[in-house]
Amino acid sequence: MTRTVRIVGVPMDLGADRRGVDMGPSAIRYAGLADQLEATGLTCIDDGDVAVPRPEERDPDAAQPTDGQAKYLAETETVTDRVADAVSDAVSDGQLPLVLGGDHSIAIGSVAGAADADDLGILWFDAHGDFNTPQTTPSGNVHGMSLAAILGIGPFEDEPWAVTPEIDPANVALVGLRDLDDEEKRLIRESDVTAYTMSDVDDRGVTDVVDDALSVATEGTDGVHVSLDMDWLDPTEAPGVGTPVRGGVSYREAHVAMEYVADVGDQLRSFELVEVNPILDQHNQTAELGCELVASAFGKRIL
């Protein structure tokens, strides 16, 4: 990989139900992200952080959809528009945007910006489906609705800020699922997305699953967006996340998955690392691991 990487921080915690994930971008930078990427020969530009409203100054229920619940909906729209602009600018300049979260609601903006002009596939590494809607969510937290919002499912069909029509669900692959709500399961089954659970990883191995998932995301598309939620890993490896779920991938499984991502080369349009919560972490372990995984995805190898 020879492109310049543009880092965009999004200190967003409005989409989650636990504070602290807004400090994720700082923790990731402190863990040495730029140094690790530059050690692989890449050039990094840090654009700083997108401005995010403070939750203490906002009413989470001030703007709700006509059907269902979605906390801080107006603020989420504002932030995702800003993220989309930052990502679109990087892509237009021939750079590779690397978005640092923050909670997973920021993916709405990341994908919108990356898909601004071309067809885009999505590879979603996550313990959760993020496929709830305001009608199905048990919590109202938008970070559990981000992929549904991107695809314009349910009430999100009428939210132009959340819909990216260039995304064909047939080019969306979710990897490592192991914690889904009942209605969320139904929506995933009824959609054209391809979902691989941790049972699939256990049965087939992570390399086979990720290889298939990349084929799904890249077939007939102009590029792929990779979204890496750190709760995809087992909590013993990544304790600093807001919604940990036992039974995730191991350290080596995660690295080899990212090495497969690196093999797509220039088809990698954008990348985001989300849900690092330093308040819940141990000695910045999760942020440091996140840096390592990004480096593997961007071409770092053992030998």
Q: Is the pLDDT of residue 73 over 70?
A: yes
Residue 229 annotated in ligand binding:
yes
Q: 249 pLDDT band (50/70/90 cuts)? A: very high
Residue ranges of domains in the chain: 5-297
Over the stretch 168-222, which tens digit does the pLDDT of each residue have? 999 999 999 999 999 999 999 999 999 999 999 999 999 999 999 999 999 999 9
The tally of CA atoms less than 13 A away on the side-chain side of residue 208 is 9
User: Which residues 6+ apart lie within 8 Å of 194 measured at CB?
Assistant: 170, 172, 173, 174, 212, 213, 216
Please state, in angstroms and as integers, the Cα–Cα distance from residue 301 to each residue in 36, 95, 210, 228, 290, following that order. Answer: 12, 22, 18, 19, 15
Share of the chain above pLDDT 90, in %: 83
Residue 128 annotated in ligand binding:
yes
Q: 166 pLDDT band (50/70/90 cuts)? A: confident
Q: Computed over its alpha carbons, how large is the radius of gyration of the chain?
A: 17
- What are φ and ψ of residue 264, in 5° steps? -75, -15
Please state, in angstroms and as integers, the Cα–Cα distance from residue 100 to each residue in 126, 140, 193, 220, following that order. Answer: 15, 23, 25, 28
Q: Is the pLDDT of residue 66 over 70?
A: no
Residue 231 annotated in ligand binding:
yes
Closest alpha carbon to 251 in 229, 263, 234: 234
Between 65 and 244, the more confident residue is 244
Q: Is the pLDDT of residue 157 over 90?
A: no
Rounded distance, CA 163 to CA 232, Å? 25
Q: Is the pLDDT of residue 1 over 70?
A: no
Over the stretch 83-108, which tens digit does the pLDDT of each residue have? 999 999 999 999 999 999 999 999 99
Rounded distance, CA 274 to CA 213, Å? 20
What are the catalytic residues? 104, 126, 128, 130, 143, 229, 231, 275
5-297 under CATH 3.40.50.2300, yes or no: no
For the record, the structure tokens of 95 come out as 């750079």
Please state, in angstroms and as integers, the Cα–Cα distance from residue 163 to each residue in 41, 118, 122, 140, following that order. Answer: 36, 14, 14, 19
Q: 164 pLDDT band (50/70/90 cuts)? A: low
Residue 283 annotated in ligand binding:
no
> Cα angle vertex 227, ends 266, 192, to 5°?
95
